Structure 1
Amino acid sequence: MKVLFVCLGNICRSPMAEFMFKDLVEKEGLTEKFEIVSKATSSYEIGNDMYPPAKRKLVEKRIKFDKRFANQIKKDDFHYFDYIIGMDHQNIINLKRMAPKETENKIHLLLDINDETKNTEVPDPWYTDDFEETYNLLRNALLSWLERFKKEML
């Protein structure tokens, strides 16, 4: 299962989702069954590492992460990944503009996985500075995504 998490700059929400999901998958013993990556819709932060407060939140929650560099989604990614999961409505709009028509069904809003959070967004902590909220929203949604993926793999 190839999963791509996407946000605007690929320095806060999407890398947090990437490493948090890798952690969940590892704890389930499913690491070999997944490829998990994160990218940006914009080129603003290309080459930059994860935002320090995002790293601090992952450290606080004991989630392993690697040094990484922000990367922008490319046309080939729409064909390669099984799921392309955006953090907010603008990400989804941007992704659908970029996506080849036949791949649009792969694009999902992260919080749409749960009825309680359907059609809501993960606020950008770059602006809100609330990395605890980001962590909690991501964690709840990622647990649900993992359950969905496990069912699909059966």
Structure 2
Amino acid sequence: MIRVLFICHGNICRSPMAEFILKDMVNNLGLSDQFEIASAATSAEEIWNGIGNPVYPPARTELAKHGIYCEGKRAVQMKASDYDKYDYLIGMDSMNIRNMERITGHKKGDKIYKLLEFAGLEADCRDPWYTSRFDETYRDVVTGCTAFLECLQKEGKIC
């Protein structure tokens, strides 16, 4: 079982997009039973009285344009114990990476990655919260998730 946790600041845009895009990809490849895929936030800003906000409506709309649905997903906050639970903790940008390192007490490289690194890029996944360009974020996430699966295949972790 390959356990993947995608992380962004609030867990309402980029990381849930990545969660559901990768779930769709592995489902289409017939590999769903080999993966556990989730997403979380480095902050509690989108969590009120223990209940997380749902995926931001424009992010849901962008996913739906591609036949991907994320109904029922609510923001959750990353915990230090996630480092032991997951094989890959994948952040969307450099600030997420710093916060992930702070939360887990571990450094980038062991299990902590930035999504677009899998595609050989140093770039951050664009944050649609500031740009309103959910289409660009979608493309960034697809690029990163596709490259991630290719890396797993090259490493012999999936067929």
TM-score bracket for the superposition, by shorter chain length: over 0.9
Comparing both structures, which one devotes a greater share of its residues to helix?
1
Q: Give the Cα–Cα distance (whole angstroms) in 2 for the partners of residues 33 and 151 of structure 1.
A: 16
Whether 1:96 aligns to 2:122 is no
Whether 1:81 aligns to 2:82 is no
Whether 1:32 aligns to 2:33 is yes
Give the 3-state SS of the residue equivalent to 1:75 in structure 2: coil
TM-score, length basis structure 1: 0.93
TM-score, length basis structure 2: 0.91
**Aligned positions, number:** 152
Counterpart residue identity of residue 93, structure 2: D
Give the 3-state SS of the residue equivalent to 2:123 in structure 1: coil
1:102 offset after TM fit, Å?
A: 7.8
Q: Give the Cα–Cα distance (whole angstroms) in 1 for the partners of residues 28 and 154 of structure 2.
A: 17
- Name the CA shift for 1:53/1:96 in 2 (closer, same or farther; >3 Å): same
Equivalence for 1:126: 129
Check whether the contact 1:23–1:64 (CA below 8 A) recurs between aligned residues.
no
Range 2-11 or range 119-128, more displaced = 119-128
Equivalence for 1:48: 53
Q: Give the Cα–Cα distance (whole angstroms) in 1 for the partners of residues 90 and 46 of structure 2.
A: 19
Give the 3-state SS of the residue equivalent to 1:3 in structure 2: strand
Give the 3-state SS of the residue equivalent to 1:2 in structure 2: strand
Check whether the contact 1:78–1:103 (CA below 8 A) recurs between aligned residues.
no
Unaligned runs of 5+ in 2: none
Between the aligned residues of both structures, percent identity stands at 45
